[in-house]
């Protein structure tokens, strides 16, 4: 009897020590099997009760039941503690720390061409110019004929123009055909418009020329529009675009649709005219072509050149962006390299 009682005590101590070692609710099931289950150690001990005398049995049975109840109670407590610990661990592993700072997001930017086009349009808008949209797909007539290009003019040749299957329909090589469209749609004068948009030339792609590029055309038509007006508008443009105190210079040039025609330079924005790598030691940077609207073009637009005069200019947007943003190769613009777009924006 005493032997059985001390065995019970030993078993209780052993079982409790084993219970304290458990590290998961899962392992507590094995513990149950080892100690309290049908083939467990306590059940084995209780089989020994049969050998005891009748008088001894009740006390021994009571002691055994106490141990059993104590172990069951201890198991429930241990399982509850383990469950709680497992829940806390799971929560901290899967949980979101709402106090963490957010991850930075890449924010899109406007393309340097778009930014520059808007700057140009804003400057012109302050001088009273309105924006006019003209088509990118043009007829040969608008792109050349009505602009006074004679039939054999080199710019009409295959290497410059992108044709469609219809030989009369082409991709515009400049924004100037918009001049005719504006004049035909808006009569009588005054006209003061800018025409921004894409142009296409079937040229070799180099650091200075792309097959697709943007221009902003300007057109003013009125009764007493003079070359001085052209100069004033372009000088103001240069000052707004490239900084106060800029000088501009006119060089004689030839365009079929203007007479006289000029190319316009601004004093080098890098060296101020002393001569450097950017201006190739000349002190000047070419920014656009311009001139007084040719009488033939006025007439083709529905305006009588005896009564009306006008001036026009055309500037490459990428060219202005390159000068303002120190970009040395036009090919960067439409390669879509995110590093360029992030830097140049």
Q: Which residue ranges make up the site for ligand PHE (CB under 6 A)?
A: 174, 176, 217, 255, 258, 261, 289-291, 312-314
Q: Which is nearer to ligand PHE, 123 or 180 (CB)?
A: 180
* Concatenated DSSP letters of 296-325: HHHHHTT--TTT-EEEEEEEEHHHHHHHHH
Strands 248-255 and 284-293: unpaired
Beta carbon of residue 311, minimum distance to ligand PHE (angstroms, whole number): 8
CB nearer ligand PHE, residue 28 or residue 258? 258
Nearer to ligand PHE, 52 or 253 (CB): 253
Q: Which residue is nearest to ligand PHE (CB)?
A: 314
For ligand PHE, the closer CB: 64 or 191: 191
> CB of 289: closest distance to ligand PHE in angstroms?
3
Give least dist CB 337 to ligand PHE, A. 27
Tell me whether strands 258-267 and 284-293 are parallel, antiparallel or unpaired: antiparallel
Output the smallest distance, CB 106 to ligand PHE, in A: 36
**Can you tell me whether residue 156 is helix, strand or coil?**
helix
Question: H-helix or E-strand containing 194?
Answer: strand 191-200
In whole angstroms, the minimum distance from the beta carbon of 263 to ligand PHE comes to: 8
In the complex with ligand PHE, the residue whose CB is nearer, 28 or 173, is 173
CB of 187 to ligand PHE, least distance (A): 20
Nearer to ligand PHE, 323 or 344 (CB): 323
* Other beta carbons less than 10 A from residue 146's beta carbon: 23
Helix (H) or strand (E) holding 119: helix 112-126
Place of tokens 């949980």: 95
The first and second tokens of residue 177, run together, are 């055909």
Question: How far, in Å, CA of 46 to CA of 38, rounded?
Answer: 11
């Amino acid at each position: 009897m005493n032997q059985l009682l001390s065995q019970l005590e030993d078993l209780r101590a052993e079982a409790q020590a084993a219970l304290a070692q458990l590290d998961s609710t899962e392992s507590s099931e094995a513990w149950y099997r080892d100690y309290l289950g049908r083939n467990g150690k306590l059940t084995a001990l209780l089989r020994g009760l049969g050998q005891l005398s009748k008088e001894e049995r009740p006390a021994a049975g009571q002691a055994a039941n106490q141990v059993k109840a104590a172990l069951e109670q201890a198991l429930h407590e241990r399982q509850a503690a383990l469950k709680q610990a497992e829940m806390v661990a799971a929560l901290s592993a899967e949980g979101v720390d709402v106090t963490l700072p957010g991850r930075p997001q890449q924010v899109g930017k406007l393309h340097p061409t778009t930014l520059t086009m808007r700057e140009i349009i804003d400057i012109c808008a302050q001088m009273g110019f309105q924006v006019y949209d003209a088509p990118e797909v043009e007829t040969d007539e608008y792109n050349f004929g009505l602009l006074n290009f004679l039939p054999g003019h080199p710019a009409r040749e295959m290497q410059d123009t992108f044709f469609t299957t219809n030989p009369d329909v082409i991709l515009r090589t400049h924004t100037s055909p918009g001049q005719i469209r504006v004049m035909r749609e808006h009569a009588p004068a005054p006209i003061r418009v800018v025409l921004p948009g894409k142009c296409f030339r079937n040229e070799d792609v180099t650091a200075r020329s792309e097959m697709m590029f943007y221009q902003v055309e300007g057109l003013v038509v009125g009764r007493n529009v003079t070359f001085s007006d052209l100069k004033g508008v372009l000088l103001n443009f240069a000052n707004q675009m490239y900084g106060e105190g800029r000088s501009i210079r006119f060089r004689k040039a030839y365009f079929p649709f203007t007479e006289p025609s000029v190319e316009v330079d601004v004093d080098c924005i890098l060296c101020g005219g002393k001569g450097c790598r950017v201006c190739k030691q000349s002190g000047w940077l070419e920014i656009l072509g311009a001139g007084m609207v040719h009488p033939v073009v006025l007439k083709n637009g529905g305006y009588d050149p005896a009564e009306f005069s006008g001036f026009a200019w055309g500037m490459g947007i990428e060219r202005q962006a390159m000068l303002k943003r120190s970009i040395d190769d036009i090919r960067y613009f439409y390669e879509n390299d995110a590093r360029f777009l992030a830097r140049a924006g």
